[in-house]
Amino acid sequence: MLTETGFMTRPPADPAAKLAIEARGLVKRFDDTLAVDGVDISVPEGAIYGILGPNGAGKTTTLRILLGIIDPDEGVRRVFGHDRPHEVAKLIGYLPEERGLYPAMKCDEAIAFLGALRGLPLDEGKARGRELLERHGLGHAVDRQIRQLSKGMAQTVQLLGTLVHRPKLVVFDEPFSGLDAINQGKLEVMIRELAQSGTTVIFSTHVIHHAERLCDEVAIVAGGKVPYAGSVDAARDRIPAQVRLETRVDSGDWRSALPDDARHDAKAGGNHFWYFPVPESGIETLLKRLIDRGAGILSLSIERAGLHDAFVEIAGEAAGRALAEDNELETGR
């Protein structure tokens, strides 16, 4: 099915689907700081799941608890039904926010090393590493040392090392950070391909459009809490859809057909724009009244709220501003 952005999406996750991750009541304190405060998350197998929030909201701490890197002070988490995530570490690929490879290693060696940490034999890891490098346009760099690579190439090598053991669950912490637009696009394609193959993908991000384009479901994180966890569509639908009407003129008998709360915005070009919720009587009835009364319609569309608007509605203005500031710092705008 095509979304409004033109990307293909898979059908909504089956409510009865098995869970790759289940967490209930997670709490984590660091001295006097409550970093995670009663977090509940359920991630269906095969989903693309986003952890969305500004820097410092608790996203990384939540991911580390889910993966068993740190333990919660309260609450439980299960990965593929296991209370101890380390028991299923071979099924998991994890790309931390802090990137790091041994600079003297060659590319295929670095990938093989990361695979070995998840139980993959070194020789098999090197063979798979060479195959992955070729497939992703880095075949020419197989024998180069990490220190000889550009930052973007090194990030790609670490990403491939995260996937070389063919995990069932892949967790990316801010994977798009530091990537240029081209490599961000390549990573989005890779995430979709992983999900299409049945791999569960979880990634944290403070960039709304990545979550909106990719995710089946999101957890919105703000101040260590998760005020919303569910489908992207359900989050957007918490704000009523708006009608956007464009007319040649701003007055006439047709104005009586508009709802009382219609907002008027006159543009420099002389056209007039009106915004209001979809009437209970339906858009067809409204359209007929406007035409019959000579509204001079230039365009009429129904616009759903974006995920950013939903985030602000759910998490609050302060969290929305923090998210916007993080985006501005990263893009330099």
CATH code, 297 = 3.30.70
Is 83 part of a structural domain of the chain?
Answer: yes
d(CA 129, CA 117): 14
Is 327 part of a structural domain of the chain?
Answer: no
Residue 16's pLDDT is 57
Cα angle value 98/103/106 (rounded, 5°): 115
Residue with tokens 């704000």: 239
Judged on CB neighbours under 10 Å (0-12, 13-18, 19+), 195 is buried
Instruction: Please check whether residues 123 and 169 belong to one and the same domain.
Output: yes
Is 290 part of a structural domain of the chain?
Answer: yes
Is 229 part of a structural domain of the chain?
Answer: yes
Question: Has residue 7 got a pLDDT over 80?
Answer: no
Instruction: Please check whether residues 258 and 190 belong to one and the same domain.
Output: no
Mean pLDDT of the chain: 89
75: left (phi over 0), alpha (psi -120 to 50) or beta: left
- Domain boundary at 233, 252, 270, which? 233
The model's confidence at residue 269, banded by pLDDT at 50, 70 and 90, is: low
What are the C-alpha distances in Å from 82 to residues 18, 71, 87, 287, 324?
13, 14, 7, 56, 37
Nearest to 314 by CA among 221, 231, 224: 221
Tell me what the mean pLDDT of segment 152-161 comes to. Answer: 92
Question: Has residue 267 got a pLDDT over 90?
Answer: no
- Domain boundary at 233, 254, 270, which? 233
Residue 177's pLDDT is 86
Instruction: Please check whether residues 151 and 288 belong to one and the same domain.
Output: no
Is 47 part of a structural domain of the chain?
Answer: yes
CATH value at residue 184: 3.40.50.300
Q: Give me the number of domains the chain comprises.
A: 2
Instruction: Please check whether residues 208 and 277 belong to one and the same domain.
Output: no
Instruction: Please check whether residues 37 and 54 belong to one and the same domain.
Output: yes
Q: Which residues pair with 23 in a beta bridge?
A: 41, 77
Question: Has residue 159 got a pLDDT over 70?
Answer: yes
d(CA 285, CA 266): 25
The model's confidence at residue 332, banded by pLDDT at 50, 70 and 90, is: low
Helix (H) or strand (E) run with residue 74 in it: strand 74-79
Tell me what the mean pLDDT of segment 229-258 comes to. Answer: 91
For 102-150, write each residue's pLDDT tens digit.
999 999 999 999 999 999 999 999 999 999 999 999 999 999 999 999 8
Domain of residue 180 covers 19-233
Residue 6's pLDDT is 35
Instruction: Please check whether residues 78 and 209 belong to one and the same domain.
Output: yes
The model's confidence at residue 9, banded by pLDDT at 50, 70 and 90, is: very low
Is 321 part of a structural domain of the chain?
Answer: no
The model's confidence at residue 172, banded by pLDDT at 50, 70 and 90, is: very high
Residue 12's pLDDT is 46
Instruction: Please check whether residues 190 and 49 belong to one and the same domain.
Output: yes
Instruction: Please check whether residues 113 and 186 belong to one and the same domain.
Output: yes
Is 156 part of a structural domain of the chain?
Answer: yes
Ordered DSSP codes for 203-225: EEES-HHHHHHH-SEEEEEETTE
Instruction: Please check whether residues 144 and 262 belong to one and the same domain.
Output: no
Mean pLDDT is lowest, of 70-79, 283-292, 322-331, for 322-331
Is 275 part of a structural domain of the chain?
Answer: yes
Strands (E), 150-287: 169-173, 200-205, 217-222, 225-231, 242-247, 263-266, 272-277
**Contact present, 155 and 179 (Cβ < 8 Å):** yes
d(CA 123, CA 116): 9
pTM listed for this prediction = 0.83
Question: Has residue 15 got a pLDDT over 90?
Answer: no
User: In sequence order, which ranges of 14-98 are alpha helices (DSSP H)?
Assistant: 59-67
CA 30 to chain CA mean position, Å:
27
Instruction: Please check whether residues 159 and 266 belong to one and the same domain.
Output: no
Pairing of strands 19-30, 33-44: antiparallel
Instruction: Please check whether residues 63 and 135 belong to one and the same domain.
Output: yes
Question: Has residue 158 got a pLDDT over 70?
Answer: yes
d(CA 38, CA 69): 18
**Contact present, 28 and 4 (Cβ < 8 Å):** no
The neighbour count for residue 3, using CB atoms within 10 Å, is 12
- Domain boundary at 181, 201, 233, which? 233
Tell me what the mean pLDDT of segment 254-278 comes to. Answer: 85
Instruction: Please check whether residues 251 and 269 belong to one and the same domain.
Output: yes
Tell me what the mean pLDDT of segment 18-26 comes to. Answer: 96
Residue 5's pLDDT is 33
